Amino acid sequence: MRPYVIVNVAVSADGKLSTRERRQVKISGNVDFDRVDEIKAGCDGIMVGIGTVLADDPSLTVKSPERIAERVKQGRPEHPVRIVVDSQARTPPDAKILHKGSGKRIIVIAESAPSERITALAPHAELIKTGMSQVDLKDLMHKLAETGIKKLMVEGGGTLIWGMISAGLVDELIMFVGNIIIGGEDAPTLADGLGFIHESDFPVLELTSVSPMEKGVLIHWKVK
């Protein structure tokens, strides 16, 4: 048992998520941000990797007051449960994700996380421990499903998305491809990590829709 997992990202025309300095870049505009907000509002959880928290300091809250009101009307919390995959508990205790907006936060750590960092984070978030030196994403999905997370959005970055895809944990991939080229062999891409070697291991996608949006293209894929 695991949640239905949607990966949503904005990439440049050359497939990058940000610059090689991991500086956040405006790839899409307000129309796309509103589209992302709608998906987020429809999910029970939203998850990012620690690299994204350190680079962007996102809050990952639902932004539209109407969507928040609709969630509350349905008896759901204002925001999806916010989850950080953070093996060594590096989330800064003053990170926006821990302080902006109401609701539950989960920091997912590995057995080897230093105890003093765990102590610093404990007042701000629920901690889930899984995996020895790195978070065990399969086990995490199982645990999240047990807490009632049925639909989960993953917003990046490239290392976490690779981890999720290579473990066969992604159902849908939604990507906005923008009209800029970022370049740089060290700039994060949609799926970083080690990469597959054998063609037989490549996850195969099924194209479900393509549409022009803002100055780029919105692509929906299903993972077969």
Ligand X SMILES: NC(=O)c1ccc[n+]([C@@H]2O[C@H](COP(=O)([O-])OP(=O)(O)OC[C@H]3O[C@@H](n4cnc5c(N)ncnc54)[C@H](O)[C@@H]3O)[C@@H](O)[C@H]2O)c1
Ligand Y SMILES: Nc1nc(=O)c(N)c(NC[C@H](O)[C@H](O)[C@H](O)COP(=O)(O)O)[nH]1
For strand 45-49 and strand 81-85, is the pairing parallel, antiparallel, or unpaired?
parallel
Using CB under 6 A as the binding rule, whether residue 11 contacts ligand Y is answered as no
Minimum distance, C-beta of residue 90 to ligand X, in the bound complex (Å): 7
**Residue 59 engages ligand X in binding (rule: CB under 6 A):** no
Binders of ligand Y among 44-103, rule CB under 6 A?
56, 58-61
| Residues between 171 and 190 that touch ligand X (CB under 6 A) | 188
Strands 4-11 and 172-177: parallel
Q: Examine residue 147 and tell whether it contacts ligand X (CB under 6 A).
A: no
Q: Which stretch binds ligand X (CB under 6 A): 20-28, 59-67, 111-119, 215-223?
A: 20-28
> What is the pattern of x (binds ligand X, CB under 6 A) and - over residues 76-115?
---------x-x----------------------------
Give least dist CB 124 to ligand Y, A: 16
Q: How far is CA 114 from CA 107, 110, 117, 120, 160, in A?
A: 14, 9, 6, 10, 21
Classify 17 as helix, strand or coil.
Answer: coil
How far apart are the C-alpha atoms of 78 and 75, rounded to whole Å?
9
Name the binder of 157 from ligand X, ligand Y, none, CB < 5-8 A by kind: ligand X
Residue 216 binding partner per list ligand X, ligand Y, none, with a CB distance cut-off of 5 to 8 Å that depends on partner kind: none
Q: How far apart are CA 97 and CA 119, in angstroms?
A: 17
Interacting residues with ligand Y between 147 and 186 (CB under 6 A): 155
Binder to ligand Y among 3, 32, 162, 169 (CB under 6 A)?
A: 32
Tokens of 95: 């990170």
- Is 169 near ligand X (CB under 6 A)? no
Residue 103 Cβ, how far from ligand Y at the closest point, in Å? 13
Residue 53's region, left for phi above 0, alpha for psi from -120 to 50, else beta, is alpha
Q: Taking CB under 6 A as the rule, does residue 170 contact ligand X? A: no
Distances (CA, A) of 177 to 16, 106, 145, 163, 213: 9, 30, 31, 21, 9
User: For residue 63, what are its two tokens?
Assistant: 């932004």
- Per CB under 6 A, residues contacting ligand Y are 10, 24-28, 32-33, 36, 56, 58-61, 155
